[in-house]
Amino acid sequence: MKFFSALNFKTISTLLACVSIAQAAGDKEAIADPNSAVVKLTSSTFSKFLDENPLVLAEFFAPWCGHCKALGPEFAQAADELESKDIKLAQIDCTEEEELCQEYGIRGYPTLKVFKGRDVLDYEGTRKSDGIVSYMIKQSLPPVSLIDDFEELLTYIEDQPVPVIVETGVKLNETFYQLSDANRDDFVFVQTKSAELKKKYGEDKILIFSKEFEEPLIYSDEDESYETLQQWVKAESLPYFGELDGSTYQKYSTANIPLAYLFYTSEEEREAWKDTVVELAKESRGKINFVGIDSTKFGRHAENLNMQQEFPLFVIHDVVTNKKYGFPQKEVLNQKEVAAFVKRYSVGEIDPIVKTEEIPEIQENFVYKIVGKTHNDIINDEEKDVLVKYYAPWCGHCKRLAPVYEELAELYASSKEGKSKIRIANVDATLNDVEVDIAGYPTLILYPAGDKSNPIVHKGGRDLQSLVNFIKESGSFELDGNALEDDVESIDEVEEPVTDDDSIKESKENTHDEL
């Protein structure tokens, strides 16, 4: 699992764009012109279409969406231009094909995905027709260049603005091509038979050439699987002291390595820290990535890392566990102490900073309120199937779900059997740190009694019956919420949903800085 909290670099530009989106959409339609080359897909036609077309760009949309309306004509124009190149563009209306959109994790509109057979990639190009055409043509080209001449190869490597990944043989041929296809937007890939290069670095090796390094990095792990190579390339190709902004955050978020931030106030301050940070990065290579971040542009991100907006500051974010380790802001930030802080972190001597609301003295609703301090205790209650809604207060989908979720909680809380076996809870994920992979809001996860290490994410409908069915089919007790009506207590006998005093006391006594 990974937890790279939203950096909000994209949010700023998105908010600015919203002012003009309505004007840009105008009277345009989100649904492509039926006379265009765009293909409308449904659940019944989707799989067959992917099997018959090797390269497809699919737009998952909603007809009412302003961004979708702005994209509609551009998407149709691109489809017409790409039709002769055997590249297909298709639309899926998520208001009609809800299950298909849920299968692909669609949480916003429009979402564009590239399909190469059954392999799926996120589209990362522009939303203008010429950008779509250019991006998709690039996706159709061979991802690997073949260069055997040694001098030509060195010149080619020197001319590239991004790291160059080189294979000196054919042993990893299939894996190398898979690697190149998945990363063609970030790196340049070359396969070579150069005797000089093989003599210098070895036969059947994968190398990373980068302007950041004096010598290429050589892959030496015995595990030659695609997954391991992918992780190695993403981690090792990053600079020792990179810059974090809207164009680079995804590279760091997918590296699955703790990320150390230096929030600086000026370029002069960043430069003064450079040698120290680079040295720390070399010592921690593969264990911690280091970046600078301009506090004058992205200072608010400090709050996402449980830090105050007081700069300069240094903090390490473990993107896998979502724990944050900040250099004490009451102390003066200096290079010697930061170096010591990193070393102590590396051996597990630094405690994380946990963001949490206070434990509620009284549970005011049937839905049990969880906070950061109580999260693990509640979900690990072996006596109950625990369903948790992870939400954000500003999320429209969460607001629409709230009354249904409250009704669901009341259904089980109003029955002796339901109350003893099922707990319906929620947590504001924007105010509480939790060790859960939250891809979007709301996220619903069931923690079955007796099997807490295997939580189940709800991917079905969000109506009351769908949630009741989910609890019955996924919970350890297989309890049918509909049958509880025969066991409902009288209204006068239904207990108010308050927190057990002993539970509060125990939770407070056991509270510490670890999740």
Positions marked active-site = 65, 68, 395, 398
Q: Find the length of the chain.
A: 515
For every residue of 101-125, DSSP letters joined together read: HHHTT--SSSEEEEEETTEEEE--S
- Three-class SS state of 62: coil
**Cβ atoms of residues 295 and 245 within 8 Å:** no
Burial class (CB in 10 A: 0-12, 13-18, 19+), 367: buried
- Buried/exposed 84-101: b ≥16 CB within 10 Å, e otherwise: eeebbbbbbbbeebeebb
**Cβ atoms of residues 362 and 368 within 8 Å:** no
List C-alpha distances in Å: 64 to 67, 97, 308, 427, 503: 9, 15, 39, 30, 47
Cα–Cα distance, 181 to 120 (Å, whole number): 11
Looking at residue 64, its amino acid is W
Q: Is the dihedral of CA 501, 504, 505, 506 positive or negative?
A: positive
Q: Tokens 């765009």 — which residue?
A: 38
Find how far residue 188's CA is from the centre of its chain. Answer: 24
Phi–psi pair at 415, nearest 5 degrees: -125, 140
List C-alpha distances in Å: 202 to 169, 177, 468: 9, 20, 60
Cα–Cα distance, 201 to 88 (Å, whole number): 42
For 50-202, strand residue ranges (E) read: 56-61, 88-93, 111-116, 119-122, 144-146, 164-167, 188-191
